[in-house]
Structure 1
């Protein structure tokens, strides 16, 4: 007996942005906002995050099918995008602090050591050079560690934010951790696919940069594909979160049924 592994669900997910009515205009607006984000700080990016918020809300809360929302509620996009941005920023803050603090301490220590060693080459202050390098590598290692942890848990926190429609829900660690544990594999697969898509974009961009004919598209390609990856990423994270909720609900239902059976068996006949 052979088991056939179907890739149809993944194919459907990857193609969903192109099955909408007027998908061309919706995609063009998203790509235009991505381009605007290179010129105008913050605002276009927040609107884009609010747009994917609605995609996630459709899957997680409404439990509906994937779709591209209409670009008709810019105020709500901005509000929801700000909520997601703040949650993501605060989760990334430890990594940013470690990175910048480590780099700052390294630069100050290195300059001080070089100044002392320049005036007195035989001074013990030259040891500070090795200390500076050690601090740099330590900060890099801690940044990689905290960044990896953030990358792993942030999707569940963002999904919880959307599910509760609340900024504080992103920091309900007990709440989103239960859902993450209920579908850890699903979240990891989502992150793997997102990482693969981003890597594919990088490879294609490098290929384009090596050809005279296609190099003119080197700016447009990342914008177009970047917005597409954002849409797919939102769909993957929302799907993983929804599956986690369903797994948790099923486990709680089985536990309740088992408790009822146990109580009935304890009753005297």
Structure 2
């Protein structure tokens, strides 16, 4: 499918109040280690997903904080369930490698370091693969408004195998990779980096929502009428 890259990149700034939204989102991104800001950020990106489903022209604002928090907690738990396997592999890898390194022997240290690097690489690959499906589950929750919808295997299978979702997913991931590289290069001014990352997250969430809707064959009315879209 053809992607209007210019429209996608401009989307997060396509609103008169976009600077305020960027400032709030960047602040929440910077404070994500405090948990609650992370939930609020998840809730906001869920709202952007819905906007993508109806091809909204302007990014949503930060309001109805209680709704954002609730949706964010649910979205986080859904992601946690889907990412259980990659997290488990990472935990076992790190644990086993540390034990090997602590033996103090040259062999143990060598095996431990190799196992750590290999395990982390495997965990990263698994996280990306599982993340492809995770996003479909989160998007279906955003669309249906029911937690069970996040684990609807029929929807997961249909959307995952549809290029209408796969291509936008790849674009979104690429945007995030570029944003993180830019943020890394701006490491000497880390405050700027979080805003770059948030901007990319908004653009990615929008194109993911659009890809999900296209794969599902949703029209604007169906997406706007879902219980989850009523805030």
TM-score (structure 2 length as normaliser): 0.80
Q: CA RMSD in A?
A: 2.8
Q: Which runs of 5+ in 1 are unaligned?
A: 118-125, 210-214, 248-269
Task: For 1:59 and 1:201, locate their aligned partners in 2 and report how far apart those are by CA, in whole Å.
Answer: 20
> Does residue 30 of structure 1 match 2:1?
no
**Partners of 2:39 and 2:69 within 8 A in 1:** yes
Q: Which runs of 5+ in 2 are unaligned?
A: 219-231
Change (3 A) 1:202 1:80: closer
User: Which of the two has higher C-alpha Rg?
Assistant: 1
Indicate the residue corresponding to 1:195 in structure 2.
173
Secondary structure in structure 2 of the residue aligned to 1:68 = coil
1:22: Cα distance to partner? Answer: 1.9
1:106: Cα distance to partner? Answer: 2.2
> Does residue 47 of structure 1 match 2:40?
yes
Change (3 A) 1:176 1:129: same
Deviations 1:163-196 (A, max 9, x none): 1112222122222221222x2x233322332333
Change (3 A) 1:139 1:223: closer
Match for residue 93 of structure 1 among 50, 62, 84: 84
Match for residue 109 of structure 1 among 71, 78, 100: 100
Map residues 249-260 of structure 1 onto 2, 5 A cutoff: none
**Partners of 2:180 and 2:197 within 8 A in 1:** no
Task: For 2:215 and 2:139, locate their aligned partners in 1 and report how far apart those are by CA, in whole Å.
Answer: 10
**Partners of 2:140 and 2:150 within 8 A in 1:** yes
Task: For 2:96 and 2:127, locate their aligned partners in 1 and report how far apart those are by CA, in whole Å.
Answer: 20
1:141: Cα distance to partner? Answer: 5.4
Secondary structure in structure 2 of the residue aligned to 1:224 = helix
Change (3 A) 1:109 1:34: closer
Q: Which structure is higher in RCO with an 8 Å CA cutoff and minimum separation 6?
A: 2
